[in-house]
Structure 1
Amino acid sequence: MNPPTAPWDDRGLLLGDGLFETLLWVDGQIRCLDAHLVRLAAGCRILGLPAPDLETAAQLCRAAPGEAGLESGRAAVRLTLTAGSGGRGLDRPAAPAIRLAARAAAAPPITAPADLILARTRRNEGSPAARLKTLSYLDNVLARGEALKAGADEAVMLNNRGELACAAAANLFWIADGALFTPALSCGVLNGVTRARVLAKAATLGVRTVVGVVRVEALERAEAAFLTNSLIGVRPVRRFEGATYAPHDLIARLAAEL
């Protein structure tokens, strides 16, 4: 079902012109498949690309674990959409012919809390790409590299205005004064599928949530913090720079609910 390789003139390869989704597969089932495909189609509209046939995309995702030799357990399914071939230069063809492929790899669960550092690499909140999973993910790669070099698990990224945005590969939450906080999408934040689920679940639990524009000092003063994405679910944070966080009942409850 999947083409083996993309040609050298593919715009995703040459220019990062495209999108991707990372989905969790567990024992034959893909979690939140519809939400991921809806986000992919919305991203295509923002970038001016033709949306894929969603049923074809779903079939590719479902087939990927078996093609990777996985029969059970836990896997990451990467669905990649490129703008197709476009020749030399920046201009797209008048009618782009998108390419779509899915691959899977084993993804054991992560159970340890995360240690975070503050990255020097910034999010460009003024770019539409900062709120999409585009194939141009180099800033995230650099931020994660900073974390690994420092012996940490993840990097907290600020935007160009110095506001909290996210982690290199996760959305960011923290707890203070009984409320749950997370940065607003306008700060250059991906509208994460798990982020949305956490906010919805917190509302059903009667937890006050604040989606806002804040500086890094808010995270430093927090009682607790955690990261979210489709593979890790809810991952507690143990340390951020000089701050240390204790386990928190709300984080445990959200993790169990999701």
Structure 2
Amino acid sequence: MTGLLWLNGVVLPVSEARISPTDRGLLLGDGLFETMRVVEGHVPLLERHLVRLEAGCETLLLPPPDHALIRQGVDDLLTASGLVDGSVRLTVTRGSGPRGLLPPVEVRPMIMLTCAAATGAIAGPVRLGVSRYVRDGRSPLSRVKSLNYLPMVMARMEAVAAGYDDALLLDGQGHLAEASAANILLMLSGRVVTPPLEDGALPGTSRARLLEAGLCVEHSVPLADMGEVKAAWLVSALSLQPVASVGAYVLGRCKDQETALRETLFGVATQ
């Protein structure tokens, strides 16, 4: 992260930022976030992220931030920080409120933008462990990027402690859902498939772009079918990572398909 952030309309040093101890995002996880890729000093898919954020706000009955305000905030932060390539995270909470679960009648959201430089590292194949945590595709909250991220945090921590790189979460019926911070794509029966939202997959922005481009289709994949999967990738707004294995299932590489995915998402064949 750089030494600057944007908080409620003002760019200031991180060391000077102050968020109320009564903020509902801090106390209750009452809020949403978006992580966006920065390329050559701007966020090329900002509007797509804002549309998803607005949909999440509708689900949470949270007043959505003004798009023009966020666009200006992103420009101001990137200009002030000098960031060229990396990421911006947008965090929106319901703001401060009284003790208890119900928010105040008059909601004043807290809006924050932070940014970080790209690492420059090329992500190698990752080994996934199957997590004991599950995704509930029936819940409206499975389709928003909520600040309630503890199941994913625990899944990743436990996977790393067990010697894996990341965790793969299933739904309650044993179907693949997603990794701790990414959607999953699988080469199965000669086509690239991704779990449907009903199986607990988050509606990721990169996932949506690949569906729109016809490079993948939605299809339920039981864990028992992993033996038929030829290759797999984790995909997020920031990266595409090949998967080396899922538990005891060892996967191969489909280089031509991977190149097509990368070129569609990032305009280049390699990261």
Fold shared, TM-score > 0.5 on shorter chain? yes
Q: Distance in 2 between matches of 1:122 and 1:66?
A: 41
Which of 261, 264, 270 aligns to 1:254? It is 261
- Pairs within 5 Å for 1:1-258: 1-3=6-8, 4-67=17-80, 69-72=81-84, 74-109=85-120, 110-201=122-213, 203=214, 209-232=216-239, 234-248=240-254, 249-258=256-265
CA-to-aligned-CA distance 1:62-102 (integer Å, 9 cap, x gap): 333444x4443x21211000001111000011231111110
TM-score under structure 2 normalisation? 0.87
Equivalent pair of 1:21/1:133 in contact (CA under 8 Å): yes
What amino acid is aligned across from residue 87 of structure 2 in structure 1? A
Return 5+ residue gaps in structure 1 as ranges.
Answer: none
| Change in 2 beyond 3 A, CA 1:66/1:147 | farther
RMSD after superposition = 1.7
Q: Distance in 1 between matches of 2:18 and 2:153?
A: 23
| SS of residue matched to 1:30 | coil
What amino acid is aligned across from residue 128 of structure 1 in structure 2? P
Q: How many pairs does the alignment contain?
A: 250
Return 5+ residue gaps in structure 2 as ranges.
Answer: 1-5, 9-16, 266-271
Q: Distance in 2 between matches of 1:63 and 1:161?
A: 46
- Pick which of 35-44 and 3-12 moved more: 3-12
What amino acid is aligned across from residue 130 of structure 1 in structure 2? S
